[in-house]
Amino acid sequence: MGDIKGFLKIKRHTAAYRPVCERVKDYKSVNLLHPKDKSMEQASRCMDCGTPFCHWACPLGNYIPEWNDLIYRGRWKEAYQLLDACNNMPEITGRVCPALCEYSCVLGINDEAVTIKENELAVAENALLEKINKPKPPKHRTGKKIAIVGSGPAGISCADQLNRAGHSAVVFERDDKPGGILRYGIPDFKLEKNIIDRRIKKLTAEGIKFETKTNVGVNYKASKLLNEFDAAVLTGGSRMPRDLDIPGRNLKGIHFAMDYLIQANRVAEGENIQTKQRISAKGENVVIIGGGDTGADCLGVAHRQGAKCVVQIEVMPKPAECRGKECPWPKYPLLLKSSSSHLEGGQRQWSILTREFIGEKGDVKKIKCVEVKFADKKMKEIPGSEFVIDADLVILAVGFLHPEHTGLIADLNIKLDNRGNVKTDKDYMTSKKGIFCAGDMRRGQSLVVWAISEGRCCAYAVDKYLMGSSDLPCM
């Protein structure tokens, strides 16, 4: 490493957020990026450790110590080349990834981990400024044509890898624009959509075709995939939401988190949504059920819509703030997280079970709850702890079940696993020969970085299936 004692001289320093009073008035990114000299300084903290567990923890196998060293030395172009070799969308993971790598940083044993996620973003953004990441179409074409159904992170990374191998990739997307959950499920204050647009523009220049407003299995026959393409990859995500089957669920004002976020993203892009169809938190008492990242995104949107009060409740106990014996380094710990949205306001409550929705004239007005405790891995209600929360708008952010089974999956008659996800063999092939699957559609709801990894591994399997062997990386 450039400075083997850098971690002794420099302390971790993360980039700041825009002031709360300013950022809640718009949907622009909340993050302020480090200047180059600060990134170089922070990169110097990366140690010359014998075994880089950060590399082990990253689903993409990023060359983290190597490009940190290159950042420190000011060799930004080489740093990007290493980053690009493992990650098809570093400008996106550098913004939305929970940084599994940082929790396995060796420095994190007795100090604060290296700012790996921010350093990754610095490399990606510098590549844009210095025009390092120019389009590079493949020099040779194989003559093979592959359909990718779904343009989320798994689909984009799979198409990118297959295109690099010389195949012709066509990505089908049922929505107006490509990006999947990146575009419609993540608010602009976390991921501005021009960032997705510039990645799509680059991939298009490299030869990948994007067919939007095409719902395979609905307005495009699934059988055409088998007739017109040499192989197909299903990367449609896991979009069936988990519901709460409790009294009062049919009341108006109760919405799934993804419906709320998708509409908010469309409005932020300037789309005109009729007043009667608007899901707005303006002046309302908002309750978000679910304490995960999706719930936090809903919290940030509610702040920007002008909610009167926002409460986020979670049935599980409040996570610890520090590692415990049950989750030692280098495992990923389930610790208390506070996103930028939590820092903007609102209340958070844990160990709360939602019992019933209470309404007036068909609209939800209150939620009946009870406190719970967990003993011997069983949840028990605490007698006498019942209470009521005012709620004019309720957002259900309690996760997803599996991909949509109607349409594409049904038409192809593809086998599912016991969780309702698409079943594949070790080579990502479904029960239909030549039809592959990757991402949340195959593994269940997960992280963007895992979706990218799935797409890359699936691309290797498809390339091997078509050509007999593959030089693509499988990670």
CA distance 440 to 135: 28
CA distance 62 to 80: 11
Map out the domains of the chain with their CATH numbers.
6-129 (1.10.1060.10), 145-239+401-467 (3.50.50.60), 244-398 (3.50.50.60)
Q: What is the pLDDT of residue 223?
A: 87
CB atoms within 10 A of CB 386: 13
Structure tokens at 133: 């990441």
CA distance 294 to 257: 7
DSSP 141: -
Q: Are strands 352-360 and 209-211 parallel, antiparallel or unpaired?
A: unpaired
Answer for the pair 291, 339: CB distance below 8 angstroms, yes or no: no
Asked if omega into 330 is within 30° of 0 (cis), the reply is: yes
Amino acid at 195: I
DSSP 252: B
H or E stretch including 164?
A: helix 153-164
At 467 the three-state DSSP class reads: helix
CA distance 301 to 264: 7
Return the closest-CA partner of residue 285 out of 259, 307, 254, 302.
307
Q: What is the pLDDT of residue 2?
A: 64
Q: Phi and psi of 155, rounded to 5°?
A: -65, -45
- The residue to which tokens 């999947």 are assigned: 180
Answer for the pair 68, 46: CB distance below 8 angstroms, yes or no: yes
Q: Phi and psi of 162, rounded to 5°?
A: -65, -35
Return the closest-CA partner of residue 31 out of 132, 122, 131, 123.
122
Q: What is the pLDDT of residue 1?
A: 63
At 148 the three-state DSSP class reads: strand
CA distance 416 to 408: 13
Digits of tens for pLDDT over the chain (475 positions)?
Answer: 667 888 999 999 999 999 999 999 999 999 999 999 999 999 999 988 889 999 999 999 999 999 999 999 999 999 999 999 999 999 999 999 999 999 999 999 999 999 999 999 999 999 999 999 899 999 999 999 999 999 999 999 999 999 999 999 999 999 999 999 999 999 999 999 999 999 999 999 999 999 999 999 999 999 888 899 999 999 999 999 999 999 999 999 999 999 999 999 999 999 988 888 999 999 999 999 999 999 999 999 999 999 999 999 999 999 999 888 888 899 999 899 999 999 999 999 999 999 999 999 999 999 999 999 998 889 999 999 999 999 999 999 999 999 999 999 999 999 999 999 999 999 999 999 999 999 999 999 999 999 999 999 999 999 999 999 999 998 7
